[in-house]
Amino acid sequence: MFTRSHSTIRYQLTRLVATCVVPVWLAAGLLVFYAYSAKRDHLNGTMLETARAMTMGVDRELASVEAALRGLATSPAFSAGDFAAIHRQTRELVAAYPGADIIVADATGQQLVNSYRPYGTPLPRRQNSETVARIFQSGKPLVSDLFYGAVTRRPLIGIDVPVFRDGRVVYDLAMTFPSDRLASILTTLKLPPEWYGSILDSKLVVATRTQNPERGVGTRVTPALNRAMARAMEGTAEIVNLEGKPAFATFCRSAMSNWTVVIAVPKAAVMTELYRWTAWAVGGATLISLMGIIFGLGMARRIAQNIQALVDPALAIGRGELVPAIEGLSVKETGDVAAALVQASELLQRRARERDEAEHLLSQTMELLHQETAERLRATEELLEKERMLIQQSRQAAMGEMIGNIAHQWRQPLNTLGLTIQQLQLSYDLGEFSRELLSHNVKSSMELILHMSRTIDDFRDYFRPEKEKAPFNVREAIDTTLSLLEGSLLYPHIDIDIVAEDDAVIYGYWNEFAQVFLNILTNARDVMMEREIANPRVTITIRNANGATVVTIADNGGGVPEEIMARIFDPYFTTKEPHQGTGVGLFMSRSIIEKNMGGELTVRNTGSGAEFTIEVPGGAPA
């Protein structure tokens, strides 16, 4: 008969230690990958922000030059054809732009004035004839690509504006300046030592560069960066730079000039820190693994010796012999096992009795638990019924408020519509009735009717029950609610300021959120009317913070008295007269935000009034 061979406990413990070491290596690998991803994402974000800032700087520089040229183009010397005066004016203007030149050319590209040369010196044609032709065709200013000057032979950038006479373009007025002037924009932000920046024209030719400008200016970008820029206005890419080295690059293209700022850093500079961190992680994981294996082998040897010492006592119990005390066991658990072998029979009987008692006790506990569960279910149903009643009261109160608002909003359109109809009759009686008057009055009447119809649609959407949660735009929900309150906010006039710092989206019930906003805004209005605030104002702020959407509603109504601050969210608590409020609005608002949307509704006093804060998880669930 063949028996299966069993592995020793020493072998099993060694495998256990090895198994425990594997997660250490996996964790080390994940940490290395996470460090690389975090480093790259942080670097890309920082570089992209820098590229955006530099793009704005380029736009400001180009816009200032264009504004100066527009001012010069209005000089009376152009109308008089006084090119000597124009030459003096261009010299005065270029004094504010060191290194720049101003050129006046006709439709053929022939230079008439060049601030770089004395007046009267023979001048050649402009090198960028296409730009001159576009100025005379479009009559609009434009920014040229990089080109080389016909006189100076320097790499230049030109900004051209048309000069008009009697409504037509007669001259091309251009300022050209060396491309390295834009390099000052790159140096203002003080890039880190390893970083370098480039500015590209609309044809993706390098106009200036902080690193090796003499080599890069006038060359096109690498194919990898060209492909990335063809897909988006801004973004990131891994490229091989003009020096032939791998690099991380971010770019941002200007919508005004179609020029692009590129910020890049050699990949080796980024990877050096990561390699150092990886070496420490691998070395630490290796040390921990070796220490674990050595410790595991020693423990396995001791445990195996202790277990082997229990074999003879176990056989003695089987033979019915008295087992003497076992000495020399270094592991507490093996000592406990030795004592347990002697008391096994008694312990088994004791466990059987305890089991029966435990089953009886469990049966009683289950019965009590069943009764308690039933009672809690009944209490929960009663609580839900109360909340449903509160919701119904709140929505009925809101419906009454909305009907009043609609009455306010319809009164003015109805008056205007009546006047329009009376105007038709009066014009007919006076003999001034015409097809144009009829069309105008019909159009204005239909606009009033459509406005009133939209009010009904908003009112219907506000009270339509929603069965499922859905993502909705916070600003749109607030605008719709304000449109429903438009009439009640006009008398008295309350200024509403909306500060939308972010495009916030909430996952929940649109109409319930609108009801919360309506309750808070209505309370603010009532308080400011009651206290006769001179210049009532409500400021609504929308922003995203830590993955949540935060909406604050702040008024200048004087705030909530401190003695009732802790009670304003209690059901049926109100400071209004019985016919003015039910005391359930704020209670239901907190219930909706906390229970239905998983958020938080709080209030505090500011220097001038009360500020309610709604904080709800933003976006849709994953």
What's the CATH number where 172 sits?
Answer: 3.30.450.20
- Is 51 part of any domain? no
DSSP 107: T
Residue pLDDT, tens place only, 565-578 = 888 888 767 776 65
Tell me how far apart the alpha carbons of residues 101 and 94 are, in angstroms, rounded to a whole number.
6
Buried residues in 327-354 as b, exposed as e (16+ CB within 10 A):
eebeeeebbebbeebbeeeeeeeeeeee
Runs of H (alpha helix) within 309-328: 311-318
- Is 214 part of any domain? no
- Is 257 part of any domain? no
- Is 335 part of any domain? no
Domain end residue (candidates: 160, 179, 198): 179
**The predicted structure's pLDDT at residue 394:** 58
Tell me how far apart the alpha carbons of residues 241 and 254 are, in angstroms, rounded to a whole number.
22
- Is 80 part of any domain? yes
Q: Is the pTM of this model over 0.75?
A: no
* Most confident range, picked from 101-115, 382-396, 411-425: 101-115
**The predicted structure's pLDDT at residue 622:** 44
Do residues 504 and 544 touch, judged by C-beta distance below 8 A?
yes
- In 241-291, the DSSP E strands lie at 246-253, 260-266
Tell me how far apart the alpha carbons of residues 150 and 171 are, in angstroms, rounded to a whole number.
18
Domain end residue (candidates: 153, 179, 205): 179
**HEC profile of 164-194:** EECCEEEEEEEEEEEHHHHHHHHHHCCCCCC
Q: Which two tokens stand for residue 571?
A: 């059901």
- Rg for the chain, CA atoms, rounded: 41
pLDDT mean across residues, the chain: 77
Tell me how far apart the alpha carbons of residues 205 and 507 are, in angstroms, rounded to a whole number.
46
Do residues 584 and 394 touch, judged by C-beta distance below 8 A?
yes
**Per mean pLDDT, which range of 59-63, 147-151, 250-254, 600-604 is the poorest?**
147-151
DSSP 98: T
Specify the amino acid at residue 284: G
- Is 15 part of any domain? no
What's the CATH number where 444 sits?
Answer: 3.30.565.10
- Asked if the peptide bond before residue 162 counts as cis, ω within 30 degrees of 0, the response is no
β-bridge partners, 104: 113, 173
Residue pLDDT, tens place only, 196-237 = 788 888 888 887 877 777 667 777 887 888 888 888 888 888
Boundaries of domain holding 558: 416-617
Looking at per-residue pLDDT, the higher value among 619 and 313 belongs to 313
- Angle of helix 474-484 relative to helix 510-530, nearest 10 degrees, comes to 50
Tell me how far apart the alpha carbons of residues 198 and 493 are, in angstroms, rounded to a whole number.
54
Domain end residue (candidates: 157, 179, 201): 179
- Is 428 part of any domain? yes
Do residues 606 and 551 touch, judged by C-beta distance below 8 A?
no
Confidence of residue 1 (pLDDT cuts 50, 70, 90): very low
Tell me how far apart the alpha carbons of residues 257 and 270 are, in angstroms, rounded to a whole number.
32
Q: Which two tokens stand for residue 31?
A: 């940490």
- Is 438 part of any domain? yes
**The predicted structure's pLDDT at residue 618:** 72
Residue pLDDT, tens place only, 7-36 = 666 666 667 766 776 776 777 677 767 766
**Per mean pLDDT, which range of 90-94, 305-309, 343-347 is the poorest?**
343-347
Tell me how far apart the alpha carbons of residues 155 and 420 are, in angstroms, rounded to a whole number.
67
303, 304, 305, 306: CA torsion to nearest 10: 50
**The predicted structure's pLDDT at residue 151:** 61
**The predicted structure's pLDDT at residue 16:** 72
Q: How many structural domains comprise the chain? A: 2
